[in-house]
């Protein structure tokens, strides 16, 4: 075990100088932690000291949230005309924001489900985080389709329910598919997140001092006592949910892309959209995980659990998905040229050269050019640099949706109907406000729930490997073995 440098800190100066040694595993937890200190590190955030930065961040998030509430109240009383939408561009910011946020929501489930199934052990440091982000992003996404309809008080007609009119939703409409796709995704993600959190909630319950905290965490932990039976069922359920959530990662954004792809509008009507949207979503989602985790690890003292390795791995995913997205962009242009379809050709000429050229080039700069810097280890080794790239990608992914929605609609078939779209302060306010909602929820999560999957992280610590090894070869537990010794690793 001497080859693992337990004393290593966040930076890894010596490692750069050494030749690559395949026997040497890069540690996923730094700082010489043992199981107890890991538990302390995570639970202290929820139970004891609140970092000052939390209050600062929360103040900012709440003021943005109140902006959202104000704009929504104005929207509800005055009508959807408070946005910049018009006869030609019937969908504007609300749908752009919706697709943006749904996309953000992809990384969480991808990390928690697909990486879990692929045995990517490095996911343990960030999965809770990413899953929480998914839930909150879907919350933000969910408000937009509801608010965006003209008669909000009748939005429930989108739901299939028996009624006196004997009217069902119209199943050919992609908007209806959206309702189901996003609804299913939200439900499964929530379940996955919550279920994965149960052992950690029990830890919080056990360590909580206040009566109220004990009761709340007690209720939330559903009577978890860490018994072997609980663990077996938990792990099986977790695996099953991961299997269930995996196709959803692909389905949700594919279905969201159908909102556009099944329409016959040039610029929307294209078969490349489902994979392109999924890749874009993972791209944008990872950018958001980076955007959140880089400050969080600094402010909440999680540098040992979210290590430069995690950040670097995520940067690599960002680069990979970014390349897919860049490929999708170029293929769209190729298809437009190759199809010899005049309307299609005009749209793709109009995007870079037409009145919304600035949106298109912002998108290209942020989504195609900026991630290319991640080819360089120098950049990948620098957390702040990755943070900057992630911010670029966040902006670029929002503009990607703007380009798709607005440029296609504003100049379509008949030049007589062409119209420009200009956002209003309500458009901008609701976009900013949705970030307020997102950050408020996220900060509440940071403050009151286990930000890192305590139990899971311990499985990737060297101590766990050692113990497991011993169990495997030296030790056959009997039914009356104390639970601590049975797996010996996950519980302190």
Partner 1 sequence: MPSLDTHDIGVTPNTAPADENRLRPAVASAFAGAPAYWRSLEHLACDGDVAQQANAAFPMLREAIARHDRRGFLTRLGAGLALAGMAGCRRWPKEEIRPHTARPAGVAPGVAEYYATLFELDGVAHGILAKSYDGRPIKVEGNPEHPMSLGAASALAQANLLDLYDPDRSRHVMSRRSAADAGGDGHRVKQSWDAFTSAVEGRLAEHRERGGEGLAVLLQPSGSPTQRRLVDELKEALPQSQWFAYQPIHHDHAWEGSRAAFGQALRLHYDLKRAKVIVCFDADLLGTHPAHLKLARDWAEGRTTADRGVMNRLISIEPSWSITGSVADERLPLKPSFVEAALERVASRLGLLEAAADPLNEATATRLDALADELIEAGEGAVVAVGPALSPRAHHLAHAINRRLGSAGACATHTAEPLVEDAPDGYVRSLRRLSELLQGNVIRTLIILGGNPVYDAPADAPLDLFSTDDRPLLSIHLSMYDNETSRACAWHVPMAHGLETWSDGRSWDGAYTLGQPLILPLFDGKSPLELLSLIAGRPTGDTRSLVRETFRRRFPAAGAKGWELAIHDGYQAGSEWATISPEVRPVPAFNKPVRSSRAADEEPGFELQFTADAKIHDGRYANNPWLQELPDPLTKLTWDNAALVAKADADRLNVTTGEKIRLAVEDGAKQAIEAPVLVMPGQAIGCISIALGYGRTSAGRIGNRVGVNAYPLRTCERSYTVVRCRAQKIGGRYALATTQMHHLVESVAHFALKKRLGEAGRPGLLIHETSLAEYRRDPRAAHAASHEVHAAPLFDKPADFDEPHKWAMAIDLNACIGCSACVVACQAENNIPVVGKANVAVNREMHWLRLDRYFKGAASNPDIVHVPTACVHCEKAPCEQVCPVAATLHDSEGLNAMVYNRCIGTRYCSNNCPYKARRFNYFDYQASDPREPAKPWLDIPDRQQPEEVSNFKKMAHNPEVTVRMRGVMEKCTYCVQRIVDARIAAKNEFARGARDADVVREGEVQTACQATCPTRAIVFGDLNDPQSAVSRARRNPRSYEMLAELNLGARTTYLAKIRNRET
CB of 396 to partner 1, least distance (A): 23
Q: Which of 187, 240, 353, 485 binds partner 1 (CB under 8 A)?
A: 353
- Of 1-9, 144-152, 449-457, 480-488, the window that binds partner 1 (rule: CB under 8 A) is 144-152
Asked if residue 373 binds partner 1 (CB under 8 A), the reply is no
Asked if residue 457 binds partner 1 (CB under 8 A), the reply is no
Q: Which of 183, 354, 462, 477 binds partner 1 (CB under 8 A)?
A: 354
Using CB under 8 A, count the residues that bind partner 1.
58
Asked if residue 155 binds partner 1 (CB under 8 A), the reply is yes
> How crowded is the C-beta side of 22, counted as CA atoms within 13 Å?
0
Instruction: Compose the 309-348 pattern: x for residues touching partner 1 by CB under 8 A, - for all others.
Output: ---------------------------------x---x--
- DSSP conformation letters of 130-193: HHHHHHHHHHHHHHHHHHHSS-GGGGGGGS----TT-----TT-HHHHHHHHHHHHHHHHHHHH
* Sole residue written with tokens 């286990």: 450
Distance in angstroms (rounded) separating the CA atoms of residues 53 and 153: 39
- Of 184-192, 331-339, 372-380, 404-412, the window that binds partner 1 (rule: CB under 8 A) is 404-412
Distance in angstroms (rounded) separating the CA atoms of residues 304 and 324: 32
Q: Which is nearer to partner 1, 156 or 475 (CB)?
A: 156
Distance in angstroms (rounded) separating the CA atoms of residues 385 and 381: 8
Q: CB of 104 within 8 A of CB of 285?
A: yes
Instruction: Compose the 40-79 pattern: x for residues touching partner 1 by CB under 8 A, - for all others.
Output: ----------------------------------x--xxx
Asked if residue 86 binds partner 1 (CB under 8 A), the reply is yes
Asked if residue 176 binds partner 1 (CB under 8 A), the reply is yes
Asked if residue 90 binds partner 1 (CB under 8 A), the reply is yes
Task: Assign residue 34 a region (left: φ > 0; alpha: ψ between -120 and 50; beta: otherwise).
Answer: beta
First and final CA of the chain: distance in angstroms? Answer: 21
CB of 97 to partner 1, least distance (A): 15
> Buried b / exposed e across 223-250, counting CB within 10 Å, b at 16+?
ebebeeebbeebeeebeebbeebbebbb
Distance in angstroms (rounded) separating the CA atoms of residues 231 and 252: 30
CB of 174 to partner 1, least distance (A): 7
- Sign of the Cα pseudo-torsion (331, 313, 128, 191, in order): positive
Asked if residue 175 binds partner 1 (CB under 8 A), the reply is yes
Q: Which of 211, 416, 473, 482 binds partner 1 (CB under 8 A)?
A: 416
Asked if residue 163 binds partner 1 (CB under 8 A), the reply is no
User: Which stretches of the chain bind partner 1, using CB under 8 A?
Assistant: 74, 77-82, 84-88, 90-91, 148-155, 157-158, 167-170, 172-176, 179, 259, 262-265, 342, 346, 349-350, 353-355, 409, 411-420, 422
């Amino acid at each position: 075990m001497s080859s693992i440098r337990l004393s290593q800190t966040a930076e890894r100066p010596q490692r750069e100088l050494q030749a690559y040694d395949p026997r040497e595993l890069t540690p996923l937890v730094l700082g010489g932690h043992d199981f107890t200190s890991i538990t302390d590190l995570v639970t202290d955030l929820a139970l004891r000291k609140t970092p000052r930065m939390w209050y600062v961040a929360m103040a900012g998030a709440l003021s943005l949230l109140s902006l959202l509430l104000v704009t929504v109240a104005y929207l509800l009383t005055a009508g959807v005309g408070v946005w910049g939408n018009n006869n030609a561009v019937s969908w504007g910011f609300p749908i752009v924001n919706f697709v943006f946020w749904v996309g953000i929501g992809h990384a969480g489930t991808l990390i928690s489900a697909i990486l879990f199934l692929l045995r990517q052990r490095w996911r343990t440091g960030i999965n809770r985080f990413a899953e929480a982000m998914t839930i909150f992003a879907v919350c933000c996404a969910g408000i937009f389709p509801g608010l965006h309809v003209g008669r909000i008080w009748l939005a429930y007609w989108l739901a299939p329910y028996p009624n006196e009119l004997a009217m069902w939703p119209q199943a050919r409409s992609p908007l209806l598919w959206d309702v189901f796709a996003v609804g299913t995704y939200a439900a499964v993600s929530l379940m996955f997140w919550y279920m994965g959190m149960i052992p950690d909630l029990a830890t919080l319950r056990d360590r909580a001092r206040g009566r109220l905290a004990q009761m709340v965490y007690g209720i939330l932990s559903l009577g978890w006592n860490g018994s072997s039976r609980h663990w077996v069922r938990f792990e099986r359920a977790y695996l099953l949910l991961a299997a269930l959530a995996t196709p959803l990662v692909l389905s949700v954004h594919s279905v969201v892309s159908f909102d556009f792809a099944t329409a016959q509008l040039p610029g929307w009507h294209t078969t490349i959209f489902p994979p392109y949207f999924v890749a874009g979503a993972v791209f944008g989602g990872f950018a958001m995980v980076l955007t959140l985790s880089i400050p969080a690890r600094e402010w909440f003292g999680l540098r040992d659990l979210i290590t430069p390795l995690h950040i670097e791995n995520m940067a690599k995913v960002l680069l990979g998905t970014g390349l897919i997205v860049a490929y999708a962009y170029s293929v769209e242009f190729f298809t437009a040229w190759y199809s010899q379809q005049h309307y299609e050709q005009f749209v793709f000429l109009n995007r870079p050269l037409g009145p919304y050229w600035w949106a298109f080039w912002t998108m290209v700069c942020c989504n195609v050019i900026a991630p290319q810097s991640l080819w360089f280890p120098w950049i990948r080794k620098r957390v702040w640099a990755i943070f900057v790239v992630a911010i670029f990608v966040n902006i670029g992914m929002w503009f990607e949706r703007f380009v798709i929605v607005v440029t296609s609609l504003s100049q379509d078939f008949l030049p007589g109907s062409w119209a420009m779209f200009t956002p209003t302060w309500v458009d901008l306010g609701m976009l900013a406000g949705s970030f307020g909602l997102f950050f408020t929820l996220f900060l509440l999560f940071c403050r009151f729930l286990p930000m890192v999957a305590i139990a899971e992280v311990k499985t990737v610590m060297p101590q766990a490997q050692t113990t497991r090894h011993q169990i495997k070869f030296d030790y056959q537990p009997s039914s009356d073995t104390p639970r601590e010794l049975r797996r010996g690793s996950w519980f302190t």
